[in-house]
Structure 1
Amino acid sequence: MGSIPVVSETREPAPALPTRLKGDDFQRLSAARSVVGKR
């Protein structure tokens, strides 16, 4: 049961971050996501 809420919380901030970030911040987030996807 603990896994379900964790996934929900992780999914919410993901889309909210790119919306707030701008310019360099957005690029940095993209790079971070790429690294996470590779792992």
Structure 2
Amino acid sequence: MNRVGKLSTTLFMNRVGKLSTTLFMNRVVEWELSFTEDLP
């Protein structure tokens, strides 16, 4: 049970980490695009 719980927790953290990283990268890309658009 402990091994299964640890494995599922690791998979869950990996999935959440990938999702948050993707959202963060998208946010940064959008911010950079909007920032460059404001330049003359």
Which of the five TM-score ranges fits, normalised by the shorter chain? 0.3 to 0.5
> When the two structures are superposed, what TM-score results if normalisation uses the length of structure 1?
0.46
Relative contact order higher in (CA < 8 Å, ≥ 6 apart): 1
Larger Rg over CA atoms? 2
